[in-house]
DNA sequence: ATGGCTCTAACATAGAGA
C-alpha cells in the first residue's frame, strides 16, 4: 500500500494539486495537514470523486486541520488533545489487520526560539514533550504504528540547506532537535526518510514562499516526516519526496512524501 | 534587523506560517 503525507496549506485551494497527485502517484491513503477548513465545509464530494470514499477529518475555521483520505475502510478514529488545546493537530485511524496511523501537525513555534519570551515556542516544546510521554506511556514501540505529518522540525544537519546559518532559527535549533530525538527514542521509531536517504545527503520537503527562488536554489528544509515502529518497519518498501509538486501551479510550500509498504 | 510570499477571515488589513 502507498501512503502519502502532505501539508497542503488549505485543502480548498489545493484540490487541483491533490487530483494531480492522486492521478500520478495513486496513493491508497493520503494524510493532510493545514486543511484550514471546518469539518462541515470540507470538500468531501471532491475527494470522493478522486476515489477516497473513507475520510476522517478534524478541522477548524482558518487554521490547522488534519485529515485522512483512504481508498479502503478503517476501523476506528481517535482525536487526542495536546498542551490542553482542542486545536485540530492530531487524528488517528486504525486499518484492520494492518496498522495504526497517527497524523500530526506540530505547532510552528513562532519567531523567537526562547520558551521564556515566546509562548508559541513553549507550546511547540510542550507538544513534542507530550508526544514523547504518550509514546512511552502507551507502549507505542510495541505496536504496529506510524506517525506522519508536518512535525515542523528539521532534526538533522542535512535536513536544512545551510545548517550553520539556520541552527538559530525556529525549526532547526538544537533544543528542538533534542526533543525530536527524545520522541524518536520513546517510540523506537525508524525515520523513514533517513532509512532510505543517507544522512550525508540533503533531504527537504519544504521550500518557503518568501524567497521567490527558494526552490530553484534549493533553500529547503525537511519538516514533513513518516516515522514507524519496529513491527511496521519490517514492511517498508520505498520512499519518495514528490519534489515536482513544488513546481505545479499554485503549489503548497510543502510537497507530498510517499512511502510504500509491503 | 527586516521583509520577501501565501493563505484565511471578511471586505481593509491583520494574523499566521517557519
Q: What tens digit of pLDDT does each residue of A92-103 get?
A: 999 998 899 999
Q: What is the pLDDT of residue A76?
A: 87
Q: What is the pLDDT of residues A194-244, one digit of tens each?
A: 999 999 999 999 999 999 899 999 999 999 999 999 999 999 999 999 999
Residue-range definition of the domain harbouring residue A150: 2-261
How far, in Å, is the CA of A218 from the C1' of nucleotide B8? 28
How far, in Å, is the CA of A37 from the C1' of nucleotide B9? 12
Nucleotides of strand B within 7 Å of the protein's CB atoms: 4-9, 16-18
**Mean model confidence pLDDT for chain A:** 97
As for how many domains chain A has, the answer is 1
Please name the nucleotide lying closest to A108, CA to C1': B18
* Cβ A199 vs Cβ A236: under 8 Å: no
Phi first, then psi: what are they for A200, rounded to 5°? Answer: -75, -15
Cα A34 to Cα A11: distance, rounded to the nearest angstrom? 8
Reply yes or no on whether the pLDDT at A82 is more than 90.
yes
Q: What is the pLDDT of residue A227?
A: 98
Q: Which residue has the cell 514528490?
A: A242
Please name the nucleotide lying closest to A9, CA to C1': B7
pLDDT band (50, 70, 90) for residue A175:
very high
Q: Nearest protein residue to B8's C1' (by CA)?
A: A62
Q: What is the pLDDT of residues A114-163, one digit of tens each?
A: 999 999 999 999 999 999 999 999 999 999 999 999 999 999 999 999 99
Q: Nearest protein residue to B4's C1' (by CA)?
A: A210
Q: Nearest protein residue to B10's C1' (by CA)?
A: A62
| CA-wise closest residue to A108 among A187, A224, A211, A12 | A224
The residues of A annotated as belonging to the active site are 105, 150, 254
How far, in Å, is the CA of A210 from the C1' of nucleotide B2? 13
Please name the nucleotide lying closest to A154, CA to C1': B18
Reply yes or no on whether the pLDDT at A72 is more than 90.
yes
How far, in Å, is the CA of A114 from the C1' of nucleotide B7? 26
Q: Residue A137: which CATH number?
A: 3.60.10.10
Q: What is the pLDDT of residue A146?
A: 98
Amino acid at each position: 500500500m502507498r501512503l502519502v503525507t502532505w501539508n497542503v496549506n488549505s485543502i480548498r485551494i489545493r484540490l487541483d494539486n491533490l487530483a494531480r497527485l492522486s492521478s500520478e502517484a495513486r496513493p491508497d491513503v493520503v494524510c493532510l495537514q493545514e486543511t484550514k477548513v471546518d469539518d462541515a465545509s470540507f470538500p468531501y464530494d471532491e475527494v470522493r470523486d478522486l476515489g477516497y470514499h473513507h475520510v476522517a477529518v478534524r478541522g477548524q475555521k482558518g487554521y490547522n486541520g488534519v485529515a485522512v483520505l483512504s481508498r479502503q475502510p478503517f476501523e476506528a478514529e481517535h482525536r487526542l488533545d495536546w498542551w490542553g488545546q482542542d486545536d485540530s493537530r492530531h487524528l488517528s485511524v486504525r486499518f484492520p489487520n494492518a496498522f495504526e496511523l497517527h497524523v500530526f501537525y506540530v505547532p510552528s513555534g513562532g519567531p523567537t526560539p526562547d520558551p521564556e519570551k515566546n509562548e508559541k515556542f513553549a507550546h511547540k516544546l510542550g507538544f513534542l514533550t507530550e508526544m514523547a510521554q504518550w509514546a512511552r506511556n502507551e507502549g507505542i514501540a510495541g505496536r504496529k504504528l506510524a506517525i506522519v505529518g508536518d512535525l515542523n522540525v528539521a532534526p538533522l544537519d542535512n535536513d536544512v540547506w545551510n545548517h550553520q546559518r539556520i541552527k538559530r532559527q525556529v525549526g532547526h535549533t538544537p533544543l528542538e532537535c533534542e526533543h525530536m530525538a527524545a520522541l524518536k527514542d520513546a517510540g523506537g521509531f525508524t525515520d523513514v526518510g533517513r532509512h532510505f536517504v543517507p544522512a550525508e545527503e540533503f533531504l527537504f520537503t519544504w521550500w518557503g514562499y518568501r524567497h521567490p527562488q527558494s526552490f530553484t536554489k534549493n533553500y529547503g528544509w525537511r519538516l514533513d516526516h513518516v516515522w514507524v515502529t519496529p513491527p511496521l518497519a519490517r514492511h517498508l518498501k520505498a520512499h519518495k519526496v514528490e519534489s515536482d509538486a513544488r513546481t505545479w501551479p499554485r503549489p503548497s510550500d510543502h510537497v507530498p512524501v510517499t512511502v510504500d509498504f509491503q
